[in-house]
Amino acid sequence: MTDRFDNIPEIALDWHRAGKGVALATVVETWGSAPRRVGSQLVISGEAEIEGSVSGGCVEGAVVAEALDAIEEGKPVMLEYGVSDGDAFAVGLACGGTIRVLVEPIGTVMPVALLEGLVEARAARRPVACITGINAERRLVREGFAERFRMDRSGFEDDGETFVAIHNPPLRLIIVGAVHIAQALVPMARIAGFDPLLIDPRESFGSEARFPGETILHDWPDEGVAAYGLDTRTALVLLTHDPKLDDPALEAGLRSSVFYIGALGSTRTHAKRVSRLEEKGFSQAEIARINGPIGLDIGATSPSEIAVAILAQMIGVLRRGA
């Protein structure tokens, strides 16, 4: 997966449907300080239109030229480039590196049905792996590769021939309670790659003035999370201290596949929360999914420090598991 969720496969499909020759170029391997991570993509049309990047500008021109030939011939090609120290410096790196780029024309090499399935999975927020390579059987896989999915890590398998391109949905953060901690957590989470959503029926808390430019739902939390959806790429953070607001969303979260659930409150508050959930019939294993008190224990005191502790814990659970 790329550093941020992009629409390169979607563009490739649109261009193909428009009758243009199209190729996808994917970074499949890097050494040293390569400008783009493995899995980054560039789409090239037969009219030399491009979107995306495989090197931050260093070798795009050469890749486009090779891709136009590949589209004409209907064959895949594996390219390798050394990024010089000077070029690397120009894109903000301390030293050079080397990248390998797989170019696959759409229709003749990458099946259109596979690209359509990939676009459909991405639209539905379903994690999917695209198996490819010069001689590989190209297919989409939703099972296996647990470590790759958790780490957003595309790469070659041990055979050095089979490339696994991970396509995870964008990370989301649902925050119940537009409180002062949320004011610090929202911009931090956005910088870290999460798309935040605030839910608070109290319009004086969840106001545009307090959270400029952010998505705010003035619904009851259970209705809000139901409307927005809960999946494996979503973190749920409860900050109101009010069981009337927190508990309905918490119960929805425990019945879902969200990767992280955190609830603000002291150890004593959390013990009361556990008792309420037990009365509702939740098992100890289900309740154990809740990170409460929320956040890593770093001695945080201010809202900003608590937000740091929450975000760090979220990332830790995402990458390392509960």
pLDDT in tens, 23-46: 999 999 988 766 678 999 999 999
pLDDT of residue 203: 93
**183 shares a domain with 86:** no
DSSP conformational letter for 110: B
Residue 128 lies in a domain: yes
Burial class of residue 102 in the structure, from the number of CB atoms within 10 Å of its CB (0-12 exposed, 13-18 middle, 19+ buried): buried
Instruction: Give dist(CA 269, CA 281) in Å, integer.
Output: 19
Are residues 119 and 182 located together in one domain of the fold?
A: no
Whether 23 and 75 share a structural domain:
yes
Would you say residue 2 lies in a domain?
A: no
**Domain finish residue from 102, 133, 167:** 167
Phi then psi for 167, rounded to 5 degrees? -120, 95
Residue 87 in any domain: the answer is: yes
What pLDDT was estimated at residue 36? 79
Whole-number pLDDT of residue 81: 84
272 and 159 belong to one structural domain: no
* pLDDT, tens only, 135-184: 989 999 998 899 999 999 999 999 999 999 999 999 999 999 999 999 99
Indicate whether 93 pLDDT > 50.
Answer: no
For the ranges 52-56, 120-124, 222-226, 228-232, the one whose mean pLDDT is highest = 120-124
User: Residue 3: inside a domain, yes or no?
Assistant: no
Tell whether 153 and 243 lie within a shared domain. Answer: no
Look up the CATH number of the domain holding residue 218: 3.40.50.720
Look up the domain containing 218 and give its range.
171-320
Spatial contact of 263 and 250, defined as CB atoms under 8 Å apart: yes
Please tell me the pTM assigned to this model. Answer: 0.83
Q: In this structure, is the dihedral angle defined by the CA atoms of residues 84, 87, 89 and 91, taken in order, positive or negative?
A: negative
How many domains does the chain contain in total? 2
- From 167, 190, 205, give the residue that closes a domain: 167
Where is the domain boundary, 167, 182, 197? Answer: 167
Are 136 and 282 contained in the same domain? Answer: no
Q: Is 135 in the same domain as 238?
A: no
Say whether pLDDT at 87 is over 70.
no
Whether residue 83 lies inside any domain: the answer is yes
Say what angle helices 243-254 and 221-228 make with each other, to 10 degrees: 30
Q: Are residues 163 and 22 in the same domain?
A: yes
The percentage of the chain sitting over the pLDDT mark of 90, rounded to a whole number, equals 80
Same domain flag for 236 and 90 = no
**Could you tell me if residue 241 is inside a domain?**
yes
Per-residue confidence (pLDDT) for residue 98, from 0 to 100: 82
- Residues 141, 275 share a domain: no
